[in-house]
Structure 1
Amino acid sequence: MYRKLMTRVVLVMVLLVLGTQVVSAQDRVYIVQPGDTLGAIANHYGVPLNVIVSYNSIVNPSRIYAGQRLLIPSSWNTPAPAPSATQYVVKAGDTLKKIADWYGTTWQALASYNGIANANWIYAGMVIYIPSGGYVPPAPQPQPTPSNVYYVRYGDTMLRIANYFGVNVWRLAEANGIYNLNRIYAGQRLVIP
């Protein structure tokens, strides 16, 4: 009796962990090869990267491995842009929030409009559509003087840099469009407010 109960509990747990996914008969299965990237796979099949990421519940698109099975959807729900929608091509260092601020809208509205499931996984070269009526021409940003700029060195933390310059760590982060204090890198240019 105990053995049957434990077998059922384990089976239910496995099903919960693996989850269920409705797969279309036209969906393709791709086995990742050494050296493959999700971007290259997405380009090969003509499917947006964010669709493959969402469809396969991938947490980190940079961490795929050889032998991994990916489902490539035959169709996806990417909204057709409105005729008056503006196209924006993401550049390195862009975030959905920066783009939204630039066009006078919210990052949530952009994510929803473009079918982006995870706002953190946009990539350089990705095309984002800006809903019409959301564009506000940006005011020119004054360029900081060289004394107000700091280049991150290996081992630096936002808190250490903020303390060194005597500024609030959150103000420093906000001035540089940083939303995660742990995501800075050596060589990164920081404006000191």
Structure 2
Amino acid sequence: MSCSYDQQYFVQPGDTLYLLAQRYNISVIGIEQANPDIDSTNLLVGQRICLPLPPCENGLQYIVKPNDTLYHIAQMYNVSPETILNKNPAVNLYQLQIGQAICIPPSIDVECPMDRFHIVRPGETLGELAIRFNIPLESLLAVNHHIDNPNQMIVGTKLCVPSPMVTPPVVDFYYD
């Protein structure tokens, strides 16, 4: 079973699929479909399961880890605690639970005239993103003036993504 770092969860004492579904605002069926090999009636403490987390619109899904605080998470993603509170109105962020999913808004609200943007995720580089979106690195840098150091991307930063390069078709001319 393979799932992204943000989606993996290790079963804690007392966990049930129903309680996990409530905590993460997902369906029990969704958890079962993401984990076809688990026995849903007999979860094992420490067992790794994948959670099909709901999308975090215009942001990044973060899973609370041991010793996390609202202030620590805000610092890590270069946003204010109030911004995180506003993005998660149904969550008591002053009593974080390990494994709880919260939505982190982009660190900088970039105006993007093209309405195409990307939220930087862990491990992403500008070079990789330029290749993925089929645009020159220079174009990506040109429309994202808020990036101080392109070699050190801050997770959660909102990037404006220009339209991909369109390569004209190669036309061979044959003369008889």
Q: Per the shorter chain, which TM-score range?
A: 0.3 to 0.5
User: Which structure is larger by alpha-carbon Rg, 1 or 2?
Assistant: 1
Name the TM-score, length of structure 1 as normaliser.
0.30
Name the TM-score, length of structure 2 as normaliser.
0.33
Structure whose residues are more often helix by fraction: 1
